Chain A
Amino acid sequence: MADEHDHDHDNHLSETVLRVKALESLLVEKGLVDPAALDAMVDVYENKIGPRNGAKVVAKAWTDPAYKARLMADATAAIAELGYSGAQGEHMVVVENTPTVHNLVVCTLCSCYPWPVLGLPPVWYKSSAYRSRAVIDPRGVLKDFGLTVPDDVAVRVWDSTAEIRYLVLPERPAGTEGLGAEALEALVTRDTMIGTAKVMP
């Protein structure tokens, strides 16, 4: 397999890239993995499963009180209603931000993250800086994101130590009463559903 590659090009690739290519070649040659399955998996996480899924959940919760009630009671089932389920979101819990409570999600032990609704986690979420500080200094971490939470607002940090995955339901901003679910969805960013940002009108 390696002979098929353009060697002039390969010379410029880093050692890690070469190691990955060599491993993939070996595993394909041994019949252990199907390269088309690898392509399909990359495509799913690059193009199909990402934070727009979570934004749809949030916008529906904001605009459909019955849906919100189902979401808070059984998030896994309510999220599955929209077609989002499975790997790294098998058991979902939604935590709601209010004028008196601000929620923040972390995984101090590894990088657990609700993949079906947010996709793969960003580098900062997996960083030692975030994992170490989110539990001991959440207000300091939020300041790194430009967010100051007043002292009289309780900060709740959710450390994903088991297979329960957390999605923050951010506060619907004032002045968005006239907006429909689709317009609202566009306001909901990834970080607002991790808890490191607020939704801006």
Chain B
Amino acid sequence: MNGVHDMGGMHGFGPVEPEANEPVFHAPWEGRVLALRRALGAWRKWNIDAGRHSIETLPPADYLRLSYYEKWLASAIKLALGAGLITQRELETGKRDPSVPVATPPLTADKVLPAILKGGPTHRETAATPRFAAGQAVRAREINPTGHTRLPRYVRGRRGMIERDHGAHVFPDSNARFLGENPQYLYTVRFSARELWGEAANPGDAVYLDLWEDYLDVA
């Protein structure tokens, strides 16, 4: 979707302001939100792409106003409601619906570190042959998907070069909609800064993006 989250190349957000000696969490609730959202994820009612899309589809003004962990909180609630893990009434009253049996959490303390160290690889074996090869010129498609996509607006229609083949990876556009993993080849594509931003850009500079086959055409 052409959402406000797709920020590459926008102006007006001011300077980057690093904070010296920044803590991991600025308040305990931030850590709780991170942990809550990931612990809910252990129910496997949604995937990482659907999770990202739940943040992208926050109202644009909220997206810009809320802090990172406030967005995670809103997203956790939205995902849990959507998956039927909690109901609106439970959320409003803070009391569980007694007609629903108490569940057993899939993620217990002993499983936390092993689960983190294992992660969720997105590489998949495929019998397909790659459509592109390193060094080949490609053009990012001029498409405007209304659902989740990882093809930023700033490269659509632009010409780049395949830098590297990463093998087949889960395709976010279909996975986010629970339409299957649809694994397809993923490539690092190099775009010169001048191709993206015009002649004022430094001639040696470039931006690299990881793009799936469905985002690319032969140039």
In the bound complex, what is the Cα–Cα distance between A93 and B11 (angstroms)?
Answer: 29
In the bound complex, what is the Cα–Cα distance between A34 and B7 (angstroms)?
Answer: 36
Residue A32 lies at the interface, judged by CB distance under 8 Å to chain B: yes
A23-B76, A37-B111, A44-B112 known; A30 vs B100 contact (CB < 8 Å)? yes
Residue A20 lies at the interface, judged by CB distance under 8 Å to chain B: yes
In the bound complex, what is the Cα–Cα distance between A8 and B86 (angstroms)?
Answer: 29
Number of A-B contacts (CB under 8 A): 272
Residue B108 lies at the interface, judged by CB distance under 8 Å to chain A: yes
A77 to chain B, nearest CB (A): 13
Contact A91 B16 (CB under 8 A): no
In the bound complex, what is the Cα–Cα distance between A157 and B115 (angstroms)?
Answer: 31
Residue B138 lies at the interface, judged by CB distance under 8 Å to chain A: no
Contact A144 B15 (CB under 8 A): yes
Residues in B with CB closer than 8 Å to A46 are 24-25, 31
Contact A30 B206 (CB under 8 A): no
B96 to chain A, nearest CB (A): 5
Residue B107 lies at the interface, judged by CB distance under 8 Å to chain A: yes
Partner of A91, one of B6, B18, B102, B123: B123
Residue A54 lies at the interface, judged by CB distance under 8 Å to chain B: no
Residues in B with CB closer than 8 Å to A153 are 204
Contact A42 B208 (CB under 8 A): no
Contact A32 B14 (CB under 8 A): no
Contact B8 A41 (CB under 8 A): no
Task: Count A-side interface residues using an 8 Å CB cutoff.
Answer: 81
In the bound complex, what is the Cα–Cα distance between A163 and B150 (angstroms)?
Answer: 10
Partner of A159, one of B34, B55, B172, B208: B208
A90-B120, A141-B16 known; A44 vs B113 contact (CB < 8 Å)? yes
A16-B73, A38-B39, A91-B122 known; A31 vs B19 contact (CB < 8 Å)? no
B54 to chain A, nearest CB (A): 11
Chain B residue, CB-CB nearest to A121: B68
Residue B209 lies at the interface, judged by CB distance under 8 Å to chain A: yes
A37-B35, A135-B8, A159-B208 known; A86 vs B118 contact (CB < 8 Å)? yes
User: Could you tell me which B residues sit within 8 Å of A by CB distance?
Assistant: 5-19, 22, 24-27, 29, 31-36, 38-40, 43, 48, 52, 55-56, 64, 67-68, 70, 73, 76-77, 80, 85-86, 90-91, 94-96, 100, 102-105, 107-109, 111-113, 115-123, 150-152, 154, 166, 169-170, 172, 186, 188, 193, 196-197, 202, 204-212
Q: Please list the 6 inter-chain residue pairs (A to B) with the smallest Cβ-Cβ separation, ordered nearest first.
A: A108-B8, A86-B119, A162-B210, A154-B204, A31-B103, A38-B35
